[in-house]
Every structure is written in C-alpha cells, then in structure tokens.
C-alpha cells in the first residue's frame, strides 16, 4: 500500500496534464497546488521506515525524482544581477487596504524599475500617486489596475479582458510601452477574475476566458519584448493560464507563494515575459493586503 501511494503520487506529478478538467476542473485544481504534492513523501517515508519496507523506500524515489524534475530548479540560487536587468514589483494591494501610503513605501523600498498594482480604488489612488510620484514620475491607471515607472511611458491603452456577461465598467487590463535605456518594452498589467473552490470543484470558467483574451492581446503585440505583471488568480502550472504560459517565459528561480498573505499556499501573482528572461522571483514582507508583493528580475535581450 505504501509503495502504491508513492507510485500514485509520482504519476500525478509527472502526468498531471492527464487529469481531466471536464468534471469540476479537477486538473486545474490539482495543478494549483502541485508543488505541495511533494509533501506526501514525508509521511510515506516515515511509515516506510517504521515498517522497514524496502519496496516502499525504493518506490518513494519515483515521486522524489518527479518533484525534483518539475520544481528542483526553482530552489537553485538566483543568477547574478546583469546590466540589462529590470527589477519589477507586482502587488494586488487589496481594495480594503487601510494603509495605502505605507504599502506604496514598502514596494518602493525594493528599488524596482516598474511597479504594477491591482485593486486600485478611487479613494486610495491619491495616496499611491503621492507616495510613488517622486521616485516613479511616470504612471498610468486604467480602471482598477496601474503601472508606475522610472522610465517614460507611451502607448497607454486599456486592454479589454472582460469575460462574457461582465458589466462594461469592469476594467482590469492596461498596456503601456516602457522606454527603457535598452529599448522599448510593452508592459501589460492585468487582474483576471477570481476563482472559487466549491463542492462541485474549481469555478474558474471566467478566469480561463479572461486568460484567453489576454493571451490574444499578447500574441498581437508588435513590440518584441513584453512583460506581463498581474494577479492572474492562477499558478503557472494551472492549465487555465496556458494561453499565457504557452507564449511567455515564467520565473526560473523561486517559488514566491503570494496568497493568502497569512499562510501563502500558491503564487497567483505572476511576472511573465516574452523575448526576455524572468531570472528570479521572491516575495516581499506583508502589507495591508491579503496578497504578498512579489519582486522579480527580468533580463532584457
């Protein structure tokens, strides 16, 4: 039985794409917490040692190998900073944040080139503009998402990622061209619809539809280098984000679990890039939000 559990864990890790999504989006639900499947190894190891089962111990090598293949690289040290790096911060600041100015200062302390924010509400926007204005003189806001930059911005426009049936005033996507010293970069900031775990499984249809629309916008982008920052309400392993992960590079180092802030279990705040490398991603200290901020280093071509 222990050996069978070990083999099943290895199969789920190695062949998670084979788990169907037709019923309750079971595949996406598994993929949302896929790294934690490796935690099954520890109790199985303890039981195998207690039973002195050589078969179970050998079988446990399978999930260990599968987990290492999938996630071991994320544990490697961050690459050294390069001359063509951009430091970017992504944060869902929460529409219930009681200290927007303090949150803004905490993000600025990371000394990024770009800061992307979601859940910007009108009442808090002036606090962010004032706290970030000196160090980040260029910014753009569309609906409830915003981008602050040390470098000039141009070509700012709304990106319509509304799923069907959502009201017209729902604005959660923007695009801007960042005029960096190394060339133009198209920066996208997005906040995809929330998902819920219910008795019938994972409710993610609207998130998936919105991800498809965002993927089409990125595919049509004429600027070669693209950086996407946002609360995508999904992990990079979740097939629901395939319209984005199939077109863009994700972080090569770091887990950076960002949600929920009190007990982070998954990274749903993402930094992705096209024609650029996301070398490392990590979290910052908690703010007044239910998400942790993430900071990433993006190497431009």
Which of 44, 75, 106 marks a domain boundary? 75
Task: Tally the domains of the chain.
Answer: 2
* Residue 80 located in a structural domain: no
Q: Are 81 and 266 in contact, with CB atoms under 8 Å apart?
A: no
* Residue 157 located in a structural domain: yes
* Residues 201 and 62 occupy one common structural domain: no
Instruction: Locate the DSSP E strands across 204-293.
Output: 226-231, 269-274, 277-283
Residues 6+ apart with CB under 8 A from 39: none
What averages of pLDDT result for each successive group of 10 residues across the chain (301 residues)?
Answer: 95 96 92 96 93 93 97 94 94 97 97 98 97 97 98 97 89 97 97 90 94 98 98 98 98 97 97 97 98 98 92
* Residues 138 and 162 occupy one common structural domain: yes
* Residues 65 and 105 occupy one common structural domain: no
* Residues 29 and 125 occupy one common structural domain: no
* Residue 209 located in a structural domain: yes
**Cα–Cα distance measured from residue 147 to residue 189, given in angstroms and rounded to the nearest whole number:** 7
Residue 198, pLDDT score: 84
Residue 160, pLDDT score: 96
Q: Are 294 and 267 in contact, with CB atoms under 8 Å apart?
A: yes
Task: Residue 43: give the domain boundaries.
Answer: 2-75
* Residues 58 and 154 occupy one common structural domain: no
CATH number at residue 175: 3.60.10.10
pTM for the whole structure = 0.95
Residue 199, pLDDT score: 79
90 — phi, psi (to 5°)?
-125, 130
Residue 197, pLDDT score: 86
Which of 75, 97, 132 marks a domain boundary? 75
Angle at 251 between CA 99 and CA 238, to 5 degrees: 85
């Amino acid at each position: 039985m222990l050996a069978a559990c070990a083999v099943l864990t290895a199969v789920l890790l190695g062949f998670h794409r084979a788990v169907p999504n037709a019923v309750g989006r079971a595949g996406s639900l598994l993929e949302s917490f896929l790294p934690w499947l490796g935690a099954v190894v520890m109790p199985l190891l303890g039981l195998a040692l207690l039973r002195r089962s050589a078969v179970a111990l050998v079988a446990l090598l399978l999930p260990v190998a599968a987990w290492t293949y999938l996630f071991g690289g994320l544990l490697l040290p961050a690459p050294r900073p390069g001359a063509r790096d951009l430091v970017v911060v992504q944060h869902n600041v929460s529409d219930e944040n009681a200290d927007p100015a303090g949150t803004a200062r905490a993000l600025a302390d990371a000394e990024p080139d770009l800061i992307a924010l979601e859940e910007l509400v009108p009442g808090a926007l002036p606090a962010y503009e004032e706290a970030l204005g000196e160090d980040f003189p260029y910014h753009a806001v569309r609906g409830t998402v915003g981008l602050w930059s040390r470098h000039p911005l141009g070509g700012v426009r709304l990106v319509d990622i509304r799923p069907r049936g959502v009201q017209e005033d729902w604005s959660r996507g923007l695009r801007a061209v960042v005029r960096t010293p190394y060339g133009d970069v198209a920066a996208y900031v997005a906040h995809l619809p929330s998902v819920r775990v219910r008795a019938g499984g994972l409710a993610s249809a609207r998130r998936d539809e919105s991800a498809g629309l965002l993927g089409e916008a990125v595919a049509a982008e004429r600027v070669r280098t693209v950086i996407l920052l946002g609360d995508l309400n999904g992990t990079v392993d979740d097939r629901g984000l395939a319209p984005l992960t199939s077109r863009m590079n994700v972080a090569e180092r770091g887990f950076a679990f960002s949600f929920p802030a009190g007990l982070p279990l998954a990274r749903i705040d993402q930094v992705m890039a096209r024609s650029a490398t996301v070398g490392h991603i990590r979290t910052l200290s908690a703010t007044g939000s239910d998400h942790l901020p993430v900071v990433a280093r993006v190497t431009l071509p």
